Structure 1
Amino acid sequence: MKDDLNISGIGIDLVEVDRIKKLIDKYPKFLNRFFTKNEIEYCNGKKNRAIHFAGKFAAKEAIYQIYWIWQ
């Protein structure tokens, strides 16, 4: 059986929670630019919202990097 899946690399995306918190505090429009309304509502409902925004941002950044590599 031939394996059609070629993995070109494996990586880890890290996002500093403090950096995301500072971006949110300094630039309120940051949230609307990178997150959906549902994501904002979800994260804002959490005790430490910056952790949740950072996690979502890291996931989106990882997907973007995968997409960019394949273009």
Structure 2
Amino acid sequence: MTPLKICRITPSDLLTIIEDIGFGKAAIGGADSHGIVIDGYLDLAGMAHRINALIEIRARSQQLIDHAQPR
């Protein structure tokens, strides 16, 4: 398994996930470098699924890079 620091989720990743999943359920009222203002319902199960998928994709990508044969 790839070390967690390589698979780190950034604040912009979370904002993108919230915007994608929250569409129609939540409205983002504002944002700064520390957080966002949300009005509405936030689908946490959907967010958890997307975050887990993002971590898996990044870990697989890093694994492919680590095991690539030099040509």
**TM-score normalised to structure 1 length:** 0.43
What TM-score, normalized to structure 2?
0.43
